[in-house]
Structure 1
Amino acid sequence: MRIYAAYDDGLRIVDPATGAVETRLSGQRVECLSVARREAGADDPGRPRVLAGTFDAGLFRSVDGGERFARAAEATLGPEGSGPDAVTAVATSPHDPAVVWIGTEPSRTYRSADGGETADPVGGLTDLTSASEWSFPPRPDTHHVRWIEPCPADPERWLVGIEAGALAVTADGGATWTDRPAGARRDTHAMATHPDAPARVYAAAGDGFAESDDRGDSWRVPEAGLDHGYAWGLAVDPDDPDTALVSAAAGATAAHRRGESYLYRYRRGEEGGAAGSERGPGAFERLDDRGFPTGAGTYRAVLAAGRAAGEIWALSNRGLFVTRDAGDSFEQVPVDLPDRAARALAVG
């Protein structure tokens, strides 16, 4: 197993068993990651495919677990002749690892049918009614796709978070879009799903935490126990779709510049009164004093689900940590990583 950490100066590949750290894409501002695990075969060791989106040089692709990277979909990720757009989001379909969706700044989406080697535009996103209101405050003249989440129950359904301004949902592979479903957040930073609850979606956003039980068509906003409303990182327990970890702060300044962030565990509510009814809104528990640094001096963490029950990885400027009991306790991984916030985290 390897851990992939995206920073503003390159990609770090961590072997947690040995503590070895290797740098790839040195000097590139790596914005997003997607790691697709592949089965080993007679002529293939099964090393995962790694896709890394960069702000200045488009998409990079590795088919050997990150040993070597090459530019991918260079001719199509952006207007013809202008070079690639900044790649700010990338996701692989759980139904077919050859299908990849890519998001950029300015906000555009692309679909690849060959694992990211080439891509074609997916239209209609900027035709949405809310598009005139989209704006990323540090760069107010533009906006970008911050997150793309596939639906475990439907290969044609994808959820796209625009930073900042909207959540958009397509049920037909991008032919049509739903703009700002009821209750959806406007500043989505991360989403997460789980194969054991395929209609459910969690979202961590600058304007709070939300969950959907109908594949993103409608949302509710549980708040009990969540003292910090600017949510950033998100991961679901691999063995329990009712349990998620969320990193949060009081606002963008605390999360990204001042450094005062926290970690929460969200657990779904109890079953409703009627037989077979879905669980109600859950509650948050702040995970202070569990072995993961929080509070003053800590920038917002990025999170990634591991492979085993209760295993979730967390990375901040204070280091790389792992919990194997869904947040009851954390242990630090003794590796040499930059002492600043990472952009993305993936397990492969």
Structure 2
Amino acid sequence: MAQILVGTRDGLHRFDASGNALGIEHAGREVTTIAPEGSELWAILDGKEVVHTAGVDWWFRVANLSGRRGNCIADTRAGVILGTSDAHLYRIAGKGVERVRSFERAPGRKQWFTPWGGPPETRSITEDRDTVYVNVHVGGVLRSSDHGESWQPTIDIGTDIHRVTTGHGRVYAAGAQGLNVSQDKGDTWSASHEGLKGSYCRGVTVCGDTVLVSAADGPRGGHSGVYWSSVDGRSFERATQGLPDWFSHNVDSLWLDAFPNGSLAAFGTEDGNLFASTDRGRSWSQIARGLPGITRVQLIT
């Protein structure tokens, strides 16, 4: 059965595709992010505690991220890896975590930055076939084809990428100036914002033969909406059926998700509403409201 997992600042909320509530876990804790590993799940609680469940009704603690805040976690060919504040990577190792030292030596690392002057952070992780991609904000998209032994930059840092994902032999990177698409594992990129009211893209996910993005005027929102495109990502059409005219705030990077087969997509909003689509993002239904502050939307079966 398909489930929509919603990480919030007060627990992990489970829904079916129709919005029926299936339960709450980790009540009173911020569920910073979630990721599947087959039938199992990984999560980061309060930005610090890494927990795991093997498809049963209980979770166990794996590690604490001392001195770092965990932002993302993913099951990859390089292992289960976590992205953190200060743009570090960690790997689950035995009963704890170990730093991915090769990522510390990534070319161009000294040029990574944030617009407000703070340290950069690792924001999203994905993979396609034999290649793992890591998005640094602001540091572009790095790739590894040797299980994380080495990393290469793939896109100009100035594109300001907020999320990276893959599908249809392409790499998709949502950035401050639209959607960036590569058909050669990041060797070259094309960018487009045709059809977007605002070109500031936060989220991107692949839903069957469709790419969904969230976009707004800028980092503070304004004309925020969800758009769909064919897999080439060259032009976009705004989804309006079942949705408000606009959202006030950005649909953030990890609040939009879909099944690759196109059967279901979902996203959350700043004010705790949850929307779902069964027609690859053409129309939407509001299936939950009044959720605590959303941190992550993740679909699982």
TM-score range normalised by the length of the shorter chain: 0.7 to 0.9
1:58-101 residue CA offsets vs partner (Å, 9 max, x unmatched):
31212226x32222133xx4xxxxx26211111113x69xx312
Rounded Cα–Cα distance in structure 1 between residues aligned with 2:250 and 2:69: 24
Residue in structure 2 matched with residue 314 of structure 1 by the alignment: 267
Which residue, out of 58, 69, 83, partners 1:86?
A: 69
Distance 1:18 1:167, change over 3 A: closer
Q: Which amino acid aligns with 1:210?
A: N
Matched, 1:283 2:235: yes
Q: Could you tell me whether the CA contact under 8 Å between 2:107 and 2:152 is conserved in 1?
A: no
- 2:52, 2:61 within 8 Å by CA — same for their partners in 1? yes
Instruction: Output the CA distance in 2 between the equivalents of 1:191 and 1:27.
Output: 30
TM-superposed deviation, 1:296: 4.5
TM-score (normalised: structure 1): 0.75
Is 2:181 the partner of 1:208? no
The count of aligned residue pairs is 296
Alignment CA distance shift 1:230-1:6 (3 Å): same
Conservation of the 8 A alpha-carbon contact between 1:183 and 1:219: no
Do 1:136 and 1:142's aligned partners in 2 also have CA atoms closer than 8 Å? yes
Deviations 1:143-168 (A, max 9, x none): 211001112x21xx211111223221
Unaligned runs of 5+ in 1: 38-47, 78-82, 270-280
Match of 1:62 among 43, 53, 67: 53
Which letter maps to 2:26?
Answer: L
Structure 1 counterpart of 2:164 = 191
Amino acid at match of 1:320: L
Determine the structure 1 residue equivalent to 2:251. Answer: 300
Q: Where do 5+ consecutive residues of structure 2 fail to align?
A: none
Q: Report the AA paired with residue 252 of structure 1.
A: P
CA distance in 2, matches of 1:150, 1:295: 32
Letter in 2 for 1:338: L
Task: Report if the CA contact (8 A) 1:90-1:103 is conserved.
Answer: yes
Instruction: Indicate if the aligned counterparts of 1:229 and 1:250 stay in contact, CA closer than 8 A.
Output: yes
Would the aligned equivalents of 2:138 and 2:157 in 1 still touch at CA under 8 Å? no
Tell me the alpha carbon deviations over residues 30-65 of structure 1, each in whole angstroms, 9 at most, x when there is no partner. Answer: 33221233xxxxxxxxxx311112454231212226
Q: Which amino acid aligns with 2:62?
A: A
Identity of aligned residues (%): 25
Kindly report the root-mean-square deviation, in angstroms, between the aligned alpha carbons of the 2 structures. Answer: 2.7
Residues 49 and 250 (structure 1 numbering): CA distance in 2 closer, same or farther, change over 3 Å?
same
| TM-score, normalised by the number of residues in structure 2 | 0.86
8 Å contact from structure 2 (residues 112, 120) kept in 1: yes
CA–CA distance in 2 between the matches of 1:112 and 1:72?
A: 8
2:189 corresponds in structure 1 to: 219
- 1:135 and 1:26 map into 2 onto residues whose CA distance is 35
Query: 1:223 is matched by which residue type in structure 2?
Result: H
Kindly name which structure, 1 or 2, has the bigger radius of gyration based on alpha carbons: 1
Runs of 4+ with deviation above 6 angstroms:
none
* Aligned-residue offset at 1:127: 2.9
* 8 Å contact kept, 1:184–1:220: no
CA offsets, 1:249-301, max 9 Å, x none?
111111xxxx64111112145xxxxxxxxxxx62111223x112341535415
Partner of 1:252: 219
